[in-house]
Amino acid sequence: MALLELNNVHTYYGHIHALKGISVTVEQGEIVTLIGSNGAGKSTTLRTISGLLTPRHGQVMLAGKRIDRVPPHDIVHMGISHSPEGRRIFPNLSVMENLELGAYIHSAYSPEFEDDLDRVLTMFPRLRERIRQKGGTLSGGEQQMLAIGRALMSRPRVLLLDEPSMGLAPVIVEQIFEIIQDINRQGTTILLVEQNALMSLSIAHRGYVLQSGEIVLEDSARNLQENETVQKAYLGVD
């Protein structure tokens, strides 16, 4: 049984048919990437998994249990955490307060909280140095680290990452992607949405290509890297 499974999912915004029957599986321990251009439906897919949107047809399953009618906060409790597009951190709250909000499923200052905080700050030493600084005064890369760190504070089984490379310099993107790999090696399953297909295919095990709300290709990351259509459309290869 896959850890996460989307089965023929259709999601709408009013009359806009954004996901047109997509099926995606993510096995325990994998990094799976969803690539596609602007408006393809990548963020909509993550919002549908985390319960922010309810699909009109189809099912979303976590470890065999249907979650597509479960409210978002209960989905966090069940083990799915979402780091949204555009790093929605709280600019007027400190780094520490942002991390505390991510940990809301544990009682504050419980032993779990201290352990999780230490794990996140070890992963992101820059956040430890800036623990009292306001989120809004962090650099773009640091804000992305905070967004990922906050998502990790609920100890997710599945981490949903929406465009962690957006707006960051290549050297920072490399660092963030190394950390994503570390998070995965430590046991967290990852669904990674990216426009930067070059980077995401370099760390993913498998991938899906989404186009206008439909999955048009699915394969191992290596095969996708070598696929001519993917190279032309998403890897900038002529």
Shortest Å distance, C-beta 166 to ligand ATP: 8
Q: Nearest CA to 65 among 74, 73, 57?
A: 74
Q: Is the dihedral of CA 94, 99, 105, 108 positive or negative?
A: negative
Shortest Å distance, C-beta 216 to ligand ATP: 13
Shortest Å distance, C-beta 86 to Mg ion: 9
* Burial tier of 80 (Cβ tally within 10 Å: 0-12, 13-18, 19+): buried
User: What, of ligand ATP, Mg ion, none, does residue 206 touch, CB below 5 to 8 Å by kind?
Assistant: none
Which H or E run includes 206? strand 206-211
User: What, of Mg ion, ligand ATP, none, does residue 202 touch, CB below 5 to 8 Å by kind?
Assistant: none
Strands (E) across 14-157 are located at 16-26, 31-35, 57-62, 65-66, 80-83
Judged by CB, which is closer to ligand ATP: 4, or 40? 40
Binding residues among 23-52 for Mg ion as defined by CB under 5 A: 42-43
Q: Is the dihedral of CA 121, 131, 77, 104 positive or negative?
A: positive
Interaction of residue 11 with Mg ion, rule CB under 5 A = no
Interaction of residue 132 with ligand ATP, rule CB under 6 A = no
For ligand ATP (CB under 6 A), the number of binding residues is 13
Interaction of residue 108 with ligand ATP, rule CB under 6 A = no
Interaction of residue 39 with ligand ATP, rule CB under 6 A = yes
Span of 59-67, 81-89, 198-206, 207-215 interacting with Mg ion by CB under 5 A? 81-89
Interaction of residue 188 with Mg ion, rule CB under 5 A = no
Residues 157, 3 contacting (CB under 8 angstroms)? yes
How many of the other CB atoms lie within 10 Å of CB of 112? 14
Span of 13-21, 65-73, 95-103, 113-121 interacting with ligand ATP by CB under 6 A? 13-21
The tokens of 75 are what? 């989905």
| CA–CA–CA angle 146, 150, 155 (5° rounding) | 140
Interaction of residue 200 with Mg ion, rule CB under 5 A = no
Task: Give every strand in the sheet of 80-83, ordered side by side.
Answer: 80-83, 158-162, 189-194, 31-35, 206-211, 214-220
Residues binding ligand ATP (CB under 6 A): 13, 16, 18, 36, 38-44, 85, 195
Residues binding Mg ion (CB under 5 A): 42-43, 85
